[in-house]
Amino acid sequence: MRTDVFGALANPVRRRLLETLREGPRSTGELAGLFELGRPAVSEHLAVLRASGLVSEEPRGRHRFYRLEPARLAEVGKWLHPFEHYWKQRLEALSDLLAEDDET
């Protein structure tokens, strides 16, 4: 069973892990070095990301490397798209209102 993507994205540590993985695959040790958390705690966050399908794991010898899985993020983007349209309209309306105030 896959973990909820939005639940996985709710945690700032997991979001930072994903941001780092945009640059390419990283080992558990490299990723753990980014945080003031113990390696086991980072491994737990990676396990949540893996269970949600946001990252994949590749064993290389004694190390594990993690890679971003963009397809799951694309699903999030599709879900967010209507909200982006909504906020764009709202900001345009605000801009129009402020322009009217400047004219008066």
- The residue count for the chain: 104
Q: What is the DSSP string of 28-84?
A: HHHHHTTSSS-HHHHHHHHHHHHHTTSEEEEEETTEEEEEE-HHHHHHHHHHHHHHH
What the block records as the tokens of 7 is 């639940």
- At residue 4, the 3 state secondary structure works out as coil
pTM: 0.76
Question: In DSSP terms, which residues pair with 65 in a beta bridge?
Answer: 27, 58
User: Along the 104 residues of the chain, how does pLDDT read in single tens digits?
Assistant: 566 898 999 999 999 999 999 999 999 999 999 988 888 999 999 999 999 999 999 999 999 999 999 888 888 888 888 888 888 888 888 888 888 877 76
